[in-house]
């Protein structure tokens, strides 16, 4: 029996009236587990109109009261942590431990939103001129929207709507149609936390829903996480329609291994960072750059990767789950085959991986390549599967130059025992998020998620202080109060304050 996924419109959960339906399948066997009706044009318009009406009153709610809503919400998220992780694991195929991590990293952002009073503080300078004071206030934008991907169905929505709403905005969430049940449960808990009706709306659907949101005049800001092609479309379309847009797109993340690094730590970290979550992370390490003699560590890395196997979400011995869809699997298998055709050496091939009893699932096993060059498709494309490619460099400078030539700049890491080497790397590398002996440097939410170059379109990044700036406008007031006996010297005919 399949579940009917619901929209959340005007404070009510509804299956909707859409005639176009999308089947949600279990990636482990591709059997249907849920169905969602795509939102109709009328339902989208109702959600936007209701959010616009709710904004008028929500923006007037005292900032401490908005913080208390977030406190109640994070309490409920923690109380339902395992339940959320179970829903998430079943619809994405992630292992239960990985699903719990997905939920927890989202909860951390909600905890950050509880600090919203201090994050919204403006600035004041007294006597900028005689008897004149200047101060700034941070105010909300209006109706904002978030378009989120399949790979983190709890974390990334929680990157977006809690901070936007805490800032005084209302929000429309459009989650991935491939795993929408987690988003529904997040909305249910937000409603249970006491959120006023209309502050959060949840719309399901495909590109038609997205394009309507991108072009609608009442939408003020758009947050997006997803593929390169869709990210460009979202940014171009949204900005053409005068929206504020942050679009997180593709990645090709490199890890540099120096000869003074701890070999076993490097191998362990590379395995987890490349095949964890089946490689379906925008911050996954997909390129290992071995400097000098560290290239001799590759056979041990191959053996360590070969010991990890995919499995079902509730299998405690499984290292990772299936890919999200048959289409995703075929894309990864196609890139593996093309790598072989272009002359790369496949030391470990996971193309024929399967799980007993679930052979119809979207399984790809750990895969390792050497002999990869910058011209190969394996290097140029974001694979988004459990595939690691190995490259070699004679020096740190050569490794840095390789990474800086790459069009993406989402994340990178360096393994070394030298502070001087680490200092040089973090200073010269042209990548937004850098890990030193940490393979996946996703920052905690009091910092911002800061991809660079082709990995990000926009100006202000996700969560942290930059997200508060993204979801608000700054109003600056310059004021003077005349005293009754203040003398007047006639009109001021210049721009200077006097």
- Nearest to 405, CA basis, from 187, 252, 246: 252
Asked if residue 116 lies in contact with residue 70, where contact means CB atoms within 8 angstroms, the answer is: yes
In sequence order, what E strands does 242-283 have? Answer: 244-248, 253-257
Which secondary structure element, helix H or strand E, spans residue 23, and what is its range?
Answer: strand 21-25
DSSP at 471: T
User: What strands lie across the sheet with 456-457, from one edge to the other?
Assistant: 12-14, 7-9, 200-202, 170-174, 143-147, 219-225, 244-248, 456-457
d(CA 229, CA 153): 20
SS3 state of residue 455: coil
d(CA 311, CA 14): 34
Catalytic residues: 282
Residue 134: beta bridge partners? 125, 478
d(CA 367, CA 305): 8
What's the sign of the alpha-carbon dihedral 210, 214, 219, 221?
Answer: positive
| Distance between first and last Cα of the chain | 75
Q: For residue 413, how many other CB atoms are within 10 A of its CB? A: 27
SS3 state of residue 5: coil
Residue 7: beta bridge partners? 14
Sorted by sequence, the CB contacts under 8 Å of residue 421 that are 6+ apart come out as 258, 260, 396, 414
Torsion of CA 415, 417, 418, 421, to 10 degrees: -10
d(CA 103, CA 108): 9
Token pair belonging to 430: 């042209």
Sorted by sequence, the CB contacts under 8 Å of residue 317 that are 6+ apart come out as 309, 311
d(CA 489, CA 140): 39
Q: For residue 368, how many other CB atoms are within 10 A of its CB? A: 27
């Amino acid at each position: 029996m399949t579940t009917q996924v619901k929209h959340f419109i005007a404070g009510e959960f509804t299956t909707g009236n859409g005639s176009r339906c999308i089947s949600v399948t279990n990636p482990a066997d591709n059997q249907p587990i849920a169905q969602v009706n795509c939102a109709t044009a009328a339902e989208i318009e109702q959600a936007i109109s209701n959010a616009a009406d709710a904004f008028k009153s929500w923006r007037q709610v005292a900032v401490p009261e908005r913080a208390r809503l977030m406190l109640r919400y994070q309490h409920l998220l923690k109380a339902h942590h395992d339940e959320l992780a179970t829903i998430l694991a079943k619809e994405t195929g992630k292992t239960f431990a990985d699903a719990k991590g997905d939920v927890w990293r989202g909860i951390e952002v909600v905890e950050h939103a509880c600090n919203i009073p201090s994050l919204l503080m403006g600035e004041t300078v007294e006597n900028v001129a005689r008897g004149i004071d200047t101060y700034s206030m941070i105010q909300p934008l209006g109706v904002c929207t978030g378009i989120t991907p399949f790979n983190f169905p709890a974390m990334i929505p929680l990157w977006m709507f809690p901070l936007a709403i805490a800032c005084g905005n209302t929000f429309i969430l459009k989650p991935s149609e491939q795993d929408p049940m987690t988003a529904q449960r997040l909305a249910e808990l937000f409603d249970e936390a006491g959120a006023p009706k209309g502050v959060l709306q949840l719309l399901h659907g495909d590109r038609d829903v997205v394009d309507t949101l991108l072009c609608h005049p009442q939408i003020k800001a758009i947050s997006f996480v997803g593929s390169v092609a869709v990210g460009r479309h979202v940014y171009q379309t949204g900005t053409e329609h005068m929206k504020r847009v942050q679009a997180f797109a593709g990645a090709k993340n490199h890890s540099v291994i120096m000869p003074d690094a701890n070999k076993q730590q490097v191998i362990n970290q590379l395995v987890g960072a490349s095949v964890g979550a089946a490689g379906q992370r925008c911050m996954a390490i997909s390129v290992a750059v071995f400097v000098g003699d560290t290239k001799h560590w590759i056979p041990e890395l191959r053996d360590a990767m070969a010991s990890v196997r995919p499995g079902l979400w509730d299998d405690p011995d499984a290292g990772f789950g299936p890919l999200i869809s048959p289409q995703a699997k075929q894309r990864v298998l196609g890139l593996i085959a093309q790598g072989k055709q272009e002359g790369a050496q496949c030391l470990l091939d996971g193309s024929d991986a399967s799980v007993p009893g679930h052979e119809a699932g979207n399984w790809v096993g750990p895969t390792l390549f050497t002999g990869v060059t910058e011209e190969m498709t394996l290097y140029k494309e974001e694979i988004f599967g459990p595939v690691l490619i190995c490259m070699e460099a004679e020096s740190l400078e050569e490794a840095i130059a390789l990474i800086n030539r790459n069009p993406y700049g989402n994340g990178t890491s360096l393994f070394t025992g030298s502070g001087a080497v680490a200092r040089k790397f973090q200073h010269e590398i042209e990548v937004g998020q850098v890990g030193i002996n940490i393979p996946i440097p996703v920052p905690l939410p009091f910092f911002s998620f800061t991809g660079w170059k082709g990995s990000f379109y926009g100006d202000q990044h996700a969560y942290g202080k930059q997200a508060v700036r993204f979801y608000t406008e700054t109003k600056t007031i310059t004021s003077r109060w005349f005293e009754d006996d203040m003398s007047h010297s006639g009109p001021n005919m210049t721009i200077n304050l006097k």
